[in-house]
Amino acid sequence: MISIGTMSVIQIVSHLFFICITWYVLQGININALIRKGHEKEMKILMLFITVAIGAGVSRFFLDILQWSQDLNYLF
């Protein structure tokens, strides 16, 4: 069983990793048509929030899969 401290480090790294990947991917989307003139700052903040939400969700999915695969030992 992985210790609580080790699992915490894995979770932090996983969240940051997937948030960075999501930010990189979202930079490829052309959102210029959606931005009103003078509201670029607000759109960057919205993109940051969307990035955190998607990245954390994907990270949570992978961490759940990791936890469930470790819990399979208790099935047998």
Q: Which residues contact 31 (CB under 8 A, 6 or more apart)?
A: 43, 47
Distances (CA, A) of 75 to 1, 13, 14, 68, 71: 15, 29, 26, 11, 7
**Which pLDDT does position 1 carry in this prediction?**
57
Dump pLDDT digits (tens) for 41-57.
888 899 999 999 999 99
Dump pLDDT digits (tens) for 23-42.
999 998 887 777 788 888 88
- Higher-pLDDT residue of 62 and 76 is 62
**Which pLDDT does position 2 carry in this prediction?**
64
The tokens 């990947």 sit on which residue? 21
Calculate the average pLDDT of the chain. Answer: 90
Report the candidate in 26, 27, 25, 17 with the shortest Cα–Cα distance to residue 60: 17
The tokens 């990189």 sit on which residue? 24
Is 59 within 8 Å of 6 (Cβ atoms)?
no
Average pLDDT over residues 15-30: 94
**Which pLDDT does position 3 carry in this prediction?**
83
